[in-house]
Amino acid sequence: MKLLIVDDEELTRTGVISSIDWASLGISEVLQADDGVHGLETAQLHRPEIILCDVRMPRMDGITMLERLEKILPDTVPIFMSGYSDKEYLKAAIKLKAVNYIEKPFRLSEIEDAIREARDLYIKKVNSRHGETLHSMATASRLALQLTLPYSQDNSVIRQLSDELQFTMNSSTFFTAFIVKTELFLEASTPSMADLFQKFQDFLNPYHITCVYLEKKFQYMVYFLFSQTPPSRQILTHAGSFLMEHFAEFGRYSMARGDTVEY
């Protein structure tokens, strides 16, 4: 794990860094920044799992910095340090789900205990998020399977699955299907397929397109793209090129794209 120390007092930063056995706490890399602005930049670049942060600093205080990081690094666990008994800062720290709030002057044992607690909390958060992701992907796969079946007037299952995924599915929803057939069985490559799907979804996000996918007989990958406006030919060409580029890594393949239709 990486830990970032953000404090405008150099003696505090160097003293903490040199006095703690970081490896025993599961920390492999310790980063530092001298104020909230540099802390924000460093955190965005290195994505630390734990941030040990002073509350009051020039240019940008610790509360503001972590509020901005919350959406970028939702699993990162903050620990606040402060030389002031300020209730308003303490309330803000609690709102940001800080694992601890340490008042200066502090004992090193306090920091070590807080880091252990932050480490355990980070692992729990990641495991929980991973479980949610697996559940969403399983639901998306079930939805994709329903979309490959002959159309029925009773589409309650499709509505139920799309609601569970918080997808908008109505008469203004447009679908386009891509089918990729590989020459190799992909059973052993399921994690790679899941990673590829996530990269594909990230690629589609700027175009406001959502995707679900399904593996059939381990040789066929079916991707359904849907949006609230018909995607342009150029966007679909880019999407096809993305899939072609990545499936080329698995060897020989063939790909087909269906017409865009309304739900």
Q: Please say if the pLDDT value at position 64 is more than 90.
A: no
Under DSSP, the state recorded for 25 is: G
Number of H helices and E strands in the chain, helices first, is 8, 10
- pLDDT band for position 190 (cuts 50, 70, 90): very low
pLDDT(188) > 60: no
Distance between CA atoms of residues 207 and 133, nearest Å: 22
DSSP per residue, 29-52: EEEEESSHHHHHHHHHHH--SEEE
Write down the mean pLDDT value for the chain.
Answer: 79
Which residue has 């880019």 as its token pair? 238
User: 99 near 120, Cβ under 8 Å?
Assistant: no
- The encoded tokens of residue 155 equal 């589409």
Distance CA 145, CA 222 (A): 9
Contact criterion met (CB below 8 Å) for 53 and 6:
yes
Interval 208-218 mean pLDDT? 76
Q: Which pLDDT score is estimated for 2?
A: 93
3-state secondary structure 147-168: HHCCCCCCCHHHHHHHHHCCCC
Per-residue pLDDT tens digits for 67-122: 888 878 888 888 888 766 665 666 666 665 566 778 777 888 888 998 998 888 88
Q: Could you tell me the sign of the dihedral formed by the alpha carbons of 228, 230, 235, 241, in that order?
A: positive
Q: How far apart are CA 195 and CA 185, in angstroms?
A: 17
Does the structure show a pLDDT above 80 at 37? yes
Confidence of residue 5 (pLDDT cuts 50, 70, 90): very high
Taking alpha carbons only, the member of 218, 231, 216 closest to residue 261 is 231
Residue 234 has pLDDT above 90, yes or no: yes
Amino acid letter for position 45: L
Element (H, E) at 137: helix 108-148
Query: Does 189 have pLDDT greater than 50?
Result: no
pLDDT at 95: 60
